[in-house]
Structure 1
Amino acid sequence: MGNQVDKIRVSAGEDLLAFIPHMVGYWPKHSIVCIGMSGKRLRATMRLDLPPDDSSDAQQFADIAASQLSSDSEADGCLIAIFGREDWVDPADFPQAGSYLALRVAFAEAGMPVQDAWYVGTEHWRSLECTDAACCPWPGKDNVSIKESFVNTEFIYRGSMVGESPKEQIRELIAVKDEAFATSVAAAGNDLREPLADSGRGSAQIAVTLGAWEYSLSRWPKTPDASMTAFLLASLADTTVRDTVIVALATTANHALTGASGMGLLEGDMTSVVAPRNWHGGNQSAPSIVEIESYSDTAYLLACRDFGNILVGEVGDHDGGARGPNWDRLDRAEPLLAFLASATNAADKAPVLCLLGWIQWCKGRGTWAGNYFQLCQGFQPRYRLASMLDQLLAVGYIAACAKDQRTAWHGRKDESIGDQAA
C-alpha cells in the first residue's frame, strides 16, 4: 500500500474492491482477502486461498488469518472480501458462511473486529452486512461497477495495472526468450558446472564467486554476458554457496563471507579457482573484491547471527535496532535473477527460481513465493529448500521480517504481509 493510497479516498464498496487487485497485483480468484485498518486508514493486505465450501477446518483457517494480520500492532480493525467460485444467488445459502463466521470471531478475539465485508462472485458482488433485498437486490451489483469505479480509474491513471494470475506472470517472466543466448550459456557452462559443484565452497573460490555476483549486481541493468551468466547459474549448484549468495544479496558480500567462514561452512581449495571468461582476465575487479570483514570474535559472532537470521527470514537486533534484508539490494537482485532464470531451461534453473521465491517469501507475498517454489521443483523434484519453504507456506507461516514494520518490504507502504496462500 503505497503513499499514493493515502491520497485516494476509498468510500464505496466498489472502490475498496477495486483497490484489492492493485495491491495484490492481479484479480483474486477463489480467495479471501483481509485488510487491516487503523482507524479509517487501510493497513496491510493479506490474500488467502479460499477453503472448500464444506471445509471442516474453518476455525483453524480463521485463526491463521487473524494471527498473521494481527502482527501489525497498529491495526485495530479489518475488512474482508470473499472472492467466491460462483455468484451468491440464494439469500439462505451463503457458500462461505462457516468461514466468514469463523473469521469474524477470530478477528474480534485478536482485537481487530470486522468493520465491513463483501462477497464477490463470478458476475456480481454484494455486501455481507446488508441482506435487505430492497436496499441490495439479489444477486448484487455487476462486477463491471468495480472496474468502472473511481479508485480503479485513479490507479490506472497513476500507472498501476492489474496483471494475470501470479503463475502466468511468473511463467512469462522466466521463459527463455533468446534461444541463441541460452545455447551460448549452456555451452559456456560446460567447463564450470563440475568444478563449481564439487569445489564451490573453497574459501578462495567462494570469494571469487561472490565477487562475480557483486560485479553483476553493481552493473545491472546491464545484463551479464553468456560466460558470466553460465558462471552465476553454475555457482548455485552447491547449497552452501547458494545460501551464502542469498545472504550476500540481502546484506553485503563481505558480511556473507564472514558469516559463512565463522560458521565453518568453507573448505580448503582443492583445485585452482574458476572464474568467468572475459571478467578482467579472470581476476576480481577492485569494486568486486570480497574478503572477510574482520577476524575478530565480535565480527564473526555478528555475521554468523545475521547469516542464520537472514536465511530463515528472521529479524536480528543490533544495538537496539532491527536488522532484516537490505531491500534496495534485493530489489536490484530480483530482475537479475529473473534474467538468469530466462537464460536456461535446464536443471540449473531450479536454484534461481528458489531464490526468487525466497525473496517473495521475505516480502510476505506467499502466493508468488509458492508458485516459484512449485516451479522450482518442476526443474529439480524435491528441491529441499523450496520444498521446506513451501511447507511453511502451507501451514500459514510468514517470514518474521515481513511482519515487522521495521524490516518489512515497503515497495508499497504498509504491505508488510502481502498475499499469503494457506
Structure 2
Amino acid sequence: MTAPDHLRISGPEDILGFIPHSLGYWPENSLVAMTMEGKRLGATLRVDLPALGGGAVGGRSGGGGGNTAAPGRGGAGSRRHSGSGRSDALAGFARNVVSYLQADDAADGSLLAFFTDTDTNSDDGRPGLAVLLKELELALEAAGMPVRDAWVIGAEFWRNAYCSDPDCCVPPGRPIEQITNSKLNAEMVFRGSSVGEAPGAQDTRPAPRPVDPAVRTAEFGWAAQFSSRRRDRAQFAQVLDVWTMVMQAAAQSPDLTPELTGYLRASLCIPSWRDAVLVMAAAGRPAAECGAEDFGMFDPEAGSAFRPGTNSSPGPGPGPGPTPSPIPGPTPSDGQPACGADAGPVPGADTLPGYGEVLLGLAPSVPDWALMVGLERVLQLLGSLGGGESTAAAVTARGWIEWCRGRGSYADALYRQALQDYPGYRLAELLAELGRRGTLCGWAARREAAWQKFAPDAA
C-alpha cells in the first residue's frame, strides 16, 4: 500500500500502533527494533526474544514494512565482556540485532519495543529484560544508532521501559487499547491496511478450492507433454511467453481458464522452468534466458539459441473465455538479445545477473516489484488447487517473494506449509535453511531496493 502524504506520529501510541501494520500481525514474545533517520522511521526488524531467564539465546528474524537491514556498516557492537554467561549471551544477541540493522546507513537512531505475554510491571521473574535493554543500548550506541526510546508491551498493558516514576507510570501500565485505538492505527485501517494472524500461529493455509476436473486433466496432459521437452529451447521460450502474459495480466484478471491453469501448474514441476520464472519476474527475461543457457539446461542444437522453431507443444489458451485461441508460435526474444554459442556478442550481456545472484537478491540493483506482485497473485491461485508437487512449488515460490520483501516469518510459514503438504520438496528445504541461518535477501537489506508496504514517506 502506498500513501501520498506523510502519516503523522504524535506519540508512542502511534509508533506502537504502526508496528503491527508494518509487520502484518501483532508480534508476541518479540523484540521489534526500528531505525530512525532524524524523525522518520526506517527499517523494521522483528526477532524472537531470547530466553531471558537463562539458557540458550536464539532468535528468528522476520522483518517487514520496508528494508530490513543487514550487515553493511562498520563493525560495531558491544565490546564489553561480562562475567556472567547469560550476559555474554545477551550481548551476542544484541550484536546480532545490530548486524541486521547496520545496512540502513542513513540511520542515526533507533527505537525498541519488547512484546511479551507477561505483566508489564514485572519481568515475570526475568530480570534479564533490563540486562538485554542495556546490551542493546551499548551495541546500538557503538553502531551510531543510539536508542531514543523503548517500550514494553504486554497482553493488556504497556509502559515506557525507562519510566520508573509511579506518578506518570502507574503500575501495571497503560491499557493496550491506547495502542489499538490510536489515531495512526485508525488512519492505517482507513487506508486499507489490516493486521492478521501471526505466521504459523495456526493453520493459515487457505481453504482448498474445489478442483475443476478440467484443470486436473489439463495439468496431467501438459505434464506428459513436458516430460520429453524439459531440455528443449523452444518449449522453454514458450513457457516464458505464457508466464509473462499471465503475470502482466494478473492485476486486471486473476482468473485463468482450466487449460491455462493446468499448463502453469505443470510447468512449475520442471525445476529449471520454475527457477526461470522467478528470475524473469525479478530481473527480466534476458536474465532468465541467458542464465538457463549458462546452466546448460538445453540439448545442443544448431543455430541461434531461442530461435523460433517447431519443437514446442501448442500453447494453452491465453486467458479466460469459453473458446480461447491458441498462442502463436513462440517469439522468444521479443527484440531482446539472444544467448548462445553462435548468437554473437550480446550488448550488455556481461551485466545480466546469474540465477544465484537473483535468487539471493544480490542483483539486479532493484527488482521488478510490480511484476513480482503479479506473479504472487498467480501463485496464490495455483497453490490453492489440490496438492502435489505443483502446489508445493507455488507455495514455496510465494515464500521466496516474502523473503525478498524481508518478511522472514511469512516466508518460513509458507516453506513449512509446502513441506508439510509435499515432504522433501528441495527448494523449500534450501530456502528454509537460508532463513534459519538468518540470511536476509540482498534487496531487503538496501533502502533503495527494498519492497515498500507503505510509501517511503509514510512515517
Q: TM class by shorter-chain length?
A: 0.7 to 0.9
1:376 partner letter: A
1:132-165 CA distance string (max 9 Å, x none): 2222011111111111222212222333222222
> 1:178-217 to 2 correspondence within 5 Å?
179-181=210-212, 183-197=213-227, 199-217=229-247
Per the TM alignment, residue 180 of structure 1 is displaced from its structure 2 partner at its CA by 4.2
Letter in 1 for 2:195: V
> Residues 276 and 147 from structure 1, CA distance in 2 versus in 1: closer, same or farther, beyond 3 angstroms?
same
Q: Give SS of 2:114's match.
A: strand
1:306 Cα deviation after fit: 4.2
For residues 249-268 of structure 1, the C-alpha deviation after alignment (integer angstroms, 9 at most, x for no partner) is 11333441133124422235
> Post-superposition shift, 1:14?
1.6
Aligned residues: 404
Query: Equivalent residue for 2:274?
Result: 242
Further displaced range: 387-396 or 106-115: 387-396
Instruction: Give the match for residue 313 of structure 1.
Output: 361
Which of residues 196, 209, 224 is equivalent to 1:163?
196
Q: CA 1:219–1:315 in 2, change beyond 3 Å: closer, same or farther?
A: closer
Deviation at 1:169, TM superposition (A): 9.5
Q: Which residue of 1 aligns with 2:9?
A: 10
- Cross-structure match for 1:410: 452
Which amino acid in the other structure matches residue 392 of structure 2? Answer: A
Identity %: 31
| CA–CA separation in structure 2 for the residues paired with 1:307 and 1:9 | 41
Structure 1 residues 372 and 290 mapped into 2: Cα distance closer, same or farther (>3 Å)?
farther
* CA deviation map 1:253-304 (0-9, x unaligned): 34411331244222359x9533444457544478877686233444584365
**What SS does structure 2 have at the residue aligned with 1:171?**
coil
C-alpha contact 2:231 2:297 (8 A) present in aligned 1: yes
Contact 1:254 1:290 in 2 (8 A): no
- Residue 315 of structure 1: CA displacement? 3.0
Structure with larger Rg: 2
1:14-413 equivalence runs, <5 A: 14-53=13-52, 54-57=54-57, 58-90=90-122, 93-94=126-127, 96-167=129-200, 171=204, 174-177=206-209, 179-181=210-212, 183-197=213-227, 199-220=229-250, 221-222=252-253, 223-267=255-299, 273-279=312-318, 282-284=326-328, 293-294=337-338, 295-299=343-347, 301-302=349-350, 305-316=353-364, 323-413=365-455
Structure 1 length normalisation: TM-score? 0.86
- Contact between 1:257 and 1:291, CA under 8 Å: does it hold in 2? no
CA–CA distance in structure 1, aligned partners of residues 426 and 92 of structure 2: 27
RCO comparison, higher one (Cα < 8 Å, 6+): 2
In 2 relative to 1, CA 281–93 (structure 1 residues): closer, same or farther, beyond 3 Å?
A: closer
More moved, 355-364 vs 85-94: 85-94
Q: How many Å separate the matches in 2 of 1:167 and 1:42?
A: 27
Q: Deviations over 1:222-252 (max 9, x none)?
A: 2221111111111111221111111111133
SS at the partner of 2:337?
coil
Q: Which has the higher helix share?
A: 1
Unaligned runs of 5+ in 1: 317-322, 416-422
Runs (5+) with no aligned partner, structure 2: 58-89, 302-309, 319-323
Letter in 1 for 2:391: K
Secondary structure of 1:126's match? strand
For 2:440, the aligned partner's letter is I
Determine the C-alpha separation between the residues in 2 that align with 1:69 and 1:237: 37
Query: Helix, strand or coil: the match of 1:402?
Result: coil
Q: Is the 8 A contact 2:22 2:453 kept in 1?
A: no
Offset of residue 82 of structure 1: 0.8
Mean CA deviation greater in 391-400 or 281-290: 281-290
Deviation at 1:7, TM superposition (A): 2.4
Residue 419 of structure 1 is matched in structure 2 by none
RMSD: 2.8
